Amino acid sequence: MTDEPGKGPDKTQLEQREGGTQDPSLDVVAAGGAQTREVIGERQGMFGAHDSGDTSGYGGLRRPVELPGASTPPYGGWMDDVAGAIATATRDQGIEAAVEKVIVHRGEITFFIRREHLLSVAKLLRDDEALRFELLSGVSGVHYPGDTGRELHAVYHLLSMTHNRRIRLEVTAPDGDPHIPSVCATYPTADWHERETFDFFGIIFDGHPALTRIEMPDDWPGHPQRKDYPLGGIPVEYKGGTIPPPDQRRSYN
Amino acid sequence: MTATSNDPYAATETETTQGRVFTVTGQDWDSVVSGIAEEHDDKVVVNMGPQHPSTHGVLRLILELEGETVTEARCGIGYLHTGIEKNMEYRSWVQGVTFCTRMDYLSPFYNEATYVLGVERLLDIEDQIPEKAQVMRVMLMELNRISSHLVAIATGGMEIGALTVMTIGFRERELVLDLFELITGLRMNHAFIRPGGVAQDMPAGALDEIRDFVALMKKRLPEYADLCNANPIFKARLVDVGHLDLAGCLALGLTGPVLRSTGYPWDLRKSQPYSGYEDYDFEVCTWDTPDAYGRFRIRLAEMWESLKIVEQCVERLAGLEGAPVMIGDKKIAWPSQLAIGSDGMGNSLDHIRHIMGESMEALIHHFKLVTEGFRVPAGQAYVPVESPRGELGAHVVSDGGTKPYRAHFRDPSFTNLQATSVMSEGGMIADVIVAIASIDPVMGGVDR
């Protein structure tokens, strides 16, 4: 162990880390595949607030909001093994269409799963010997109002302790039909996580044993983490000046 | 009921469609018992909390009892929900640290660290964090693990009536908080770990204080072992209570001491190291009985391991005097510097002289970073850390803007609390308290 005083993270240590199997994220920094971009919206002007008149001259600025798009194989390192195992297992079950796209970004791999196939994919991810993702770390939601037809994203972080790997699943649903099947039967830990995502985003997890609000009061209207739900707050007055609530302040966007 | 009808302390009772409901306020045991006896029904539903000294915070338990046996246990949470994740979407990336540090208030440095590691991964600057900042992060996190485990043991002891464990636990925790105050300026809610490094360099004399603390802890930690390890009352309350095996842990997503009490040595510091943990010499503590007693012993042993890591950090920091604690990239590094003036802590006059009189570029960087903040490339990252309670991870999403598009925290308290039902159903009501204390949930982290 290198705990001498004053010793920096020298080259040998970095090489050890890159060569080692302990940190899976570092093995694939130089992954092969090309990265596309996916436009999900447009950023207007320079400042977030739009109601106070444009005195900056930046009001006409239009910039696309781009997320990392689909990657093409090879993804690098163990990621190809996982992608290959998923491809084989889905083919065996006749659900090749389950994986919509794969994104490799910053050493993390994301599989976009079509919602109708989520349950079968979750089961084979847990049970397939080459995959063995025993632990579901959690379910998180993201709301992309500009991603038309697939505004609501449920994000699942999976951990394989057997192989020491992490992957991410992303499942989308449109605002008009916010249904995603519940993975509770495969991963019982999803119970509270799905309740939380329902509470904050209004995603209805079909088949969940008791999908009720968990953080907000039972009679709360709306789903607070959605982008169309205001943060709220009251203006603060001090010595004649007024500071508007945070979501109405002028700030860079 | 006639015997207690004149009792000013009697529990108030109301008839509802679901049966008779007693509102218990204390010293009213007689009236409740006689009321239940009249019902000729063994089944009672007890609402415990959210304001209750033994539920480990503002946790509400709904317990269905037959006699003293729990047949169903359910948790009600959300009483401490403050919308921290939503608030972070309206503040800059650096300001986010100030919010997330307040979630799990017993382990603030872990909240900061997992968020900051996620932001740094998105910025693609993971390799550029100065060594001294990394060592300081590890040292603060390990000191924090000690203070957090001390509270876990202390409050767990208090809840079963072992008040001495409580008093000595908080006595030592205070010493850790003094160190935090010395280094960060605050006892809790530090907002000290920032994207790119840490907020301040170590103050003069801090290393000596930490060495004194480590030496003192080595004398004090054996007191806990002497008091508890073989104490027959303590063991009678903890052994075989809150049992959960490895399969149960994985299915329910439990990590941390609960998972390690099954004997499985899973610790992210070893298996997926971050912040340079691979450079430190320490052991992963496990136990062979997956019960409350095993979790207590693991917490005790982990404090020794944390002391070992802190010692190694102090040694390394002694050789890093004057080294930078913030990334060199001036487009990310927080520019403002603080200093002690005649009227207390405030803006560093040297820094103001530098930006106002010497460097136009420094002024621009200062202005841009303080007003606009930096932009983080679009994408998402999840970099979990091993918090005292298990896997704590921040799912950080950026759309390329100056503010987090979404920050979601996978808090181990939230996930682990789901095990309440399986740990306590079929057991005695008194064991529910022990089982929950062995999970050690922090409601600030559960509800966020």
Q: How far apart are CA A20 and CA A17, in angstroms?
A: 5
C-beta atoms of A6 and B395 within 8 A = no
C-beta atoms of A5 and B315 within 8 A = yes
Cβ contacts of A134 on chain B, cutoff 8 Å: 250
- Which residue in the set B254, B273, B415 is minimally distant from A22, CB to CB? B273
For chain B, the first-to-last Cα distance in angstroms comes to: 44
Q: How far apart are CA A7 and CA A18, in angstroms?
A: 19
Q: How far apart are CA A205 and CA B30, in angstroms?
A: 46
Q: By the CB < 8 Å criterion, does B403 face chain A? A: yes
Nearest residue in B to A132, CA atom: B250
Distances in Å between the Cα of A150 and the Cα atoms of A40, A144, A154, A155, A222 are 10, 8, 11, 13, 19
DSSP assignment letter at B356: I
* Alpha-helical regions (H) of A93-202: 118-127, 190-201
Residue B302 structure tokens: 């982990």
What is the pTM assigned to this prediction? 0.87
Number of helices followed by number of strands (H, E) in chain B: 18, 13
Q: By the CB < 8 Å criterion, does A214 face chain B? A: yes
- DSSP bridge partners of B44: B65
Task: For the beta carbon of residue B95, count every other beta carbon within 10 angstroms.
Answer: 15
What are the strands, taking DSSP E only, across B181-299? Answer: 193-194, 197-198
Q: How far apart are CA A220 and CA A197, in angstroms?
A: 15
Residue (of B142, B127, B131) closest to B183 by Cα position: B142
Nearest residue in A to B408, CA atom: A140
Q: How far apart are CA A101 and CA A148, in angstroms?
A: 17
Q: By the CB < 8 Å criterion, does B72 face chain A? A: no
**A72: distance to nearest CA of chain B, Å?**
17
Nearest residue in A to B253, CA atom: A189
Distances in Å between the Cα of A51 and the Cα atoms of A47, A248, A249, A250, B37 are 11, 9, 10, 10, 66
C-beta atoms of B78 and A231 within 8 A = no
Q: How far apart are CA A152 and CA B178, in angstroms?
A: 45
Q: How far apart are CA A132 and CA A161, in angstroms?
A: 8
What residue has token string 């008779």?
Answer: B20
Burial class (CB in 10 A: 0-12, 13-18, 19+), B205: exposed
* Alpha-helical regions (H) of A136-221: 190-201
- Which residue in the set A6, A66, A137 is minimally distant from B384, CB to CB? A137
Q: What is the ipTM of this complex?
A: 0.86
- Which residue in the set A9, A141, A253 is minimally distant from B402, CB to CB? A253
Find the radius of gyration of the CA atoms of chain A.
Answer: 22
Cβ contacts of B89 on chain A, cutoff 8 Å: 231
Q: By the CB < 8 Å criterion, does B221 face chain A? A: no
**B412: distance to nearest CA of chain A, Å?**
9
Q: What is the pLDDT along chain B (448 residues), one digit of tens a residue?
A: 444 456 666 777 777 777 778 777 777 777 777 777 776 667 788 888 787 777 777 889 899 888 888 999 999 999 999 999 999 999 899 999 999 999 999 999 999 999 999 999 999 999 999 999 999 999 999 999 999 999 999 998 888 888 899 999 999 999 999 999 999 888 999 999 999 999 988 988 999 999 999 999 999 999 999 888 888 988 999 999 999 999 999 999 999 999 999 999 999 999 999 999 999 999 999 999 999 999 999 999 999 999 999 999 999 999 998 889 999 888 888 887 777 777 777 888 888 899 899 999 889 888 888 888 889 999 999 999 999 999 999 999 999 888 999 999 999 999 999 999 999 998 898 899 999 999 999 999 999 8
DSSP assignment letter at B161: T
